[in-house]
């Protein structure tokens, strides 16, 4: 009887031992603000501004509970964000300016956590009229963005030599020289895409336009 009891206790310990674990709690109320980092990325176009990002926390499956709320705040709107698998994403109307993703927390958890970004104003790219690869091709857009934005113009298509131009100044126009776009052995007309990207850290505002070009 005594031996049976001892064996039973050992068996219970064995069962409990199989439940061995050492995992960070996925519940946000169990997390200190000092262990939370929010990374935000913005992909803006003339149609929408997509704000996305993720939480870097001790657990990769964080759930917001107990009064922790996540919001995205711009100069024109404030919207609640849902967190799924520690990531978030929301589409806002076209926007340019500062964006903040803010985790608002009750007292005693280490304070609010915020990630900030600034996105360039939305813009459109205008195609040249009757573009020819053998002639100068000028692409225009709304320029004048602050100098801390990196502006890049690219031109791609099946009948031209792909081009990419990092621009030190967002002048609002760029002209490719005659012959720069010509591709050897291609004499057909095609559609090309001009894309202008204005980037500051993880915030990107871009615009594209398709136009025909002839050799």
Partner 1 sequence: MLCGWTGSARATEPPKAERRDAEKPKVEHPFDTVRLGAWGSTWAGTRLEGLGSVAHVARPALDLELAVRRYFSPRFGVDIRLVGFPAMRDDNHGYLRGDIGIDVLFARWDGAAKGGITGVVGIGGDAGRYPFAGRAYPRLGLHARVHPGPSSTVEVAVEMLPVSLGVDGRVVQHRSELSFGWSLFQAGFRVSHAFHTVGAPERTFMIQELGIFLGVGLLR
**Piece of the chain touching partner 1 by CB under 8 A; list 15-23, 133-141, 177-185, 187-195:** 15-23
123 — alpha (psi -120 to 50), left (phi > 0) or beta?
A: beta
Backbone conformation region of residue 207, classed left if phi is above 0, alpha if psi is from -120 to 50, else beta: beta
- Tell me if 1 contacts partner 1 by CB under 8 A: no
Instruction: Single out the residue of 31, 40, 196, 207 in contact with partner 1 (rule: CB under 8 A).
Output: 31
Contact 35, 109 (CB under 8 A): no
Structure tokens given for 173: 């126009």
- Polymer length of the chain: 215
Q: Which stretch binds partner 1 (CB under 8 A): 31-39, 96-104, 187-195, 199-207?
A: 31-39
Question: Does 24 contact partner 1 by CB under 8 A?
Answer: yes
Tokens of 72: 């995205």
Half-sphere exposure for 111 (CA within 13 Å, toward CB): 4
Q: How far is the CB of 63 from partner 1 (least distance, A)?
A: 13
Query: For residue 126, is it left (φ>0), alpha (ψ between -120 and 50) or beta?
Result: beta
In the complex, least distance from residue 6 CB atom to partner 1, rounded to whole angstroms: 7
Least distance CB 67 / partner 1 (angstroms): 14
Query: Does residue 19 bind partner 1 (CB under 8 A)?
Result: yes
Nearer to partner 1, 32 or 173 (CB): 32
Of 23 and 129, CB closest to partner 1 = 23
Strands (DSSP E) contained in 81-189 are 87-92, 97-104, 113-119, 125-126, 131-132, 137-141, 150-156, 163-167, 173-176
Nearer CB in complex with partner 1: 37/77: 37
Binding to partner 1 by residue 13, rule CB under 8 A?
yes
Q: How far is the CB of 202 from partner 1 (least distance, A)?
A: 24
21 binds partner 1 (CB under 8 A): yes
Residues forming the site for partner 1 (CB under 8 A): 6, 9-10, 13, 16-17, 19-25, 27, 30-35, 57-58, 108-110
């Amino acid at each position: 009887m005594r031996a049976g009891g001892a064996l039973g206790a050992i068996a219970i310990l064995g069962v409990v031992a199989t439940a061995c674990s050492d995992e960070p709690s996925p519940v946000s109320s169990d997390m200190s603000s000092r262990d939370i980092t929010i990374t935000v990325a913005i992909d803006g176009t003339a149609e929408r501004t997509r704000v996305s990002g993720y939480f870097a926390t001790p657990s990769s499956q964080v759930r917001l509970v107990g009064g922790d709320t996540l919001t995205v705040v711009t100069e024109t709107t404030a919207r609640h964000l849902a967190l799924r698998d520690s990531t978030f994403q929301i589409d806002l109307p076209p926007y340019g300016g500062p964006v903040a993703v803010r985790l608002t927390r009750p007292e005693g958890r280490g304070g609010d956590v915020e990630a900030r970004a600034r996105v360039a104003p939305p813009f459109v790219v205008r195609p040249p009229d009757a573009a020819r690869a053998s002639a100068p091709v000028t692409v225009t857009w709304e320029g004048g963005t602050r100098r801390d934005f990196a502006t890049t113009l690219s031109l791609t298509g099946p009948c031209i030599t792909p081009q990419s131009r990092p621009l030190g100044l967002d002048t609002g126009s760029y002209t490719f020289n005659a012959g720069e776009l010509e591709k050897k052995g291609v004499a057909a007309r095609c559609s090309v895409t001009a894309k202008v990207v204005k980037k500051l850290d993880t915030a990107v505002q871009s615009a594209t336009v398709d136009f025909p070009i002839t050799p």
